[in-house]
Amino acid sequence: MSSLLDAFAHFRLLDLLDITVVALIFYWLITLVRGTRAVQLMIGVGLVLAVYAVAGYLDLRALRWLLDKALTIALFAIPVIFQPELRRALEALGRGPQRVRQLFAETAPIERAIEAVNGAAQPLSKRRIGALIVFEREVGLQELTETGIALEAIPSRELLINIFIPNTPLHDGAVIIDRQGRMMAAACFLPLTGSRDVDPELGTRHRAALGVSEETDAVAVVVSEETGQVSVAVGGRLSRGLDEGTFVSYLRALLMPQAPSRGWWRRLWASLWDWLRRGGRSAQQEHPSGSEASREGKQRGGKQ
């Protein structure tokens, strides 16, 4: 008890900061691997470490020697086994500073792309025509874009429907839409998911959508040619059978940056950003009020 009191007596604010940072790191790692096959692997590693500790406590020399050698090998095997998760972790870490730019990102092209995809998905769903559309986010999809036919077109309902009509040259593969809302390529090849937990009824399109969402942070839209269901894959998870309203709201939440008006500091930054774009002029100076505009109009009329 006295040792516990001594520990609290020497407790500093830096110790609290240290504990908080470590807790946030563990929380981030848990959210990163949640719902992936890495969870089962981590449970297995934890059990091996627990057995190793028990073997050391009971002085089971043969078992401890065997586990010691196994853990040595595991130090080299774990980076290979957890390669997809480690890649996602590093990509997520690198995307951190880029989220600041999302406060001022232009949403009109993305909104137009979402409307075009929804406008195409609904009739394709009714006619049970398969489709696969991938939205690029922070992780670039240039390598996947190069596997298809370059388009660099503005998304439209008619163009998307025409692409996925059966027996047309571009109907196989995926359409990729970049961060600026442009259709960069069609008939692109995507990696298939390696997960064993996938519903066996899912076809190649759904497996490709899950695969690209596991390896990148992309959002994949799938229209099933068997059931006509519209689904969205993101982060290795598939949301199936979305109605039109839920589908559009889900895409907007995933693809469109959060509005700056949701917090006082975001409103402040938005106002500062607008002021800088106008070169230090106020909105009233740039856009005169109605009375001022009418006075200017009368002055011009008098001069004429």
Asked if 39 and 33 touch (Cβ cutoff 8 Å), the reply is yes
- The confidence score (pLDDT) of residue 158 equals 94
41 and 77 part of one domain? yes
Asked if 171 and 164 touch (Cβ cutoff 8 Å), the reply is yes
In whole angstroms, give the CA distance from residue 198 to residue 210: 9
Residue 260 has pLDDT above 50, yes or no: no
Containing domain of residue 161, as a range?
106-255
Q: To the nearest 5 percent, what fractions of the chain are helix, strand and coil?
A: 60, 10, 30
Q: What is the percent of the chain where pLDDT is above 90? A: 35
The number of distinct structural domains making up the chain is 2
In whole angstroms, give the CA distance from residue 14 to residue 186: 54
For the segment 54-82, the average pLDDT, to the nearest whole number, is 83
41 lies in a domain?
Answer: yes
278 lies in a domain?
Answer: no
6 and 84 part of one domain? yes
For the segment 28-49, the average pLDDT, to the nearest whole number, is 71
- Residue 234: enclosing H or E segment and its boundaries? strand 230-234
Mean of per-residue pLDDT scores for the chain: 78
Domain end position, chosen among 98, 126, 150:
98
- The confidence score (pLDDT) of residue 115 equals 94
199 and 164 part of one domain? yes
Residue 293 has pLDDT above 70, yes or no: no
- Separation in Å, CA 105 to CA 100, 181, 238: 9, 12, 27
Residue 164 has pLDDT above 50, yes or no: yes
Q: What is the percent of the chain where pLDDT is above 70? A: 69
Band of residue 292 on the pLDDT scale cut at 50, 70, 90: very low
86 and 206 part of one domain? no
Domain end position, chosen among 98, 122, 155:
98
Asked if 242 and 250 touch (Cβ cutoff 8 Å), the reply is yes
Residue 219 has pLDDT above 90, yes or no: yes
For the segment 60-85, the average pLDDT, to the nearest whole number, is 80
110 and 250 part of one domain? yes
For the segment 35-44, the average pLDDT, to the nearest whole number, is 67
Band of residue 190 on the pLDDT scale cut at 50, 70, 90: very high
* Residue partners of 249: CB distance under 8 A and separation at least 6: none
In whole angstroms, give the CA distance from residue 185 to residue 80: 32
76 and 205 part of one domain? no
- The confidence score (pLDDT) of residue 142 equals 84
- Residue 26: enclosing H or E segment and its boundaries? helix 13-33
Q: Which residue has the tokens 């398969």?
A: 130
Q: CB 129: neighbour CB atoms within 10 A?
A: 19
Band of residue 103 on the pLDDT scale cut at 50, 70, 90: very low
Q: CB 140: neighbour CB atoms within 10 A?
A: 13
Task: Average the pLDDT over each of 58-72, 92-106, 145-159 and give the range with the smallest value.
Answer: 92-106
86 and 125 part of one domain? no
SS (H, E, C) 175-195: EEECCCCCEEEEEECCCCCCC
Q: Do you know the residue count of the chain?
A: 304
Residue 257 has pLDDT above 80, yes or no: no
For the segment 224-234, the average pLDDT, to the nearest whole number, is 93
Of 81, 92, 161, nearest to 121 by C-alpha is 161
145 lies in a domain?
Answer: yes
300 lies in a domain?
Answer: no
CA 40 to chain centre: 23
130 and 226 part of one domain? yes
CATH code: domain of residue 121: 3.40.1700.10
Task: Average the pLDDT over each of 144-148, 198-202, 222-226, 232-236 and give the range with the smallest value.
Answer: 198-202
* Residue partners of 66: CB distance under 8 A and separation at least 6: none
39 lies in a domain?
Answer: yes
Domain end position, chosen among 38, 71, 98:
98
190 lies in a domain?
Answer: yes
Residue 156 has pLDDT above 90, yes or no: yes
7 lies in a domain?
Answer: yes
Strands, DSSP E only, in the chain? Answer: 131-135, 149-153, 174-177, 183-188, 219-223, 230-234, 237-239
302 or 186, higher pLDDT? 186
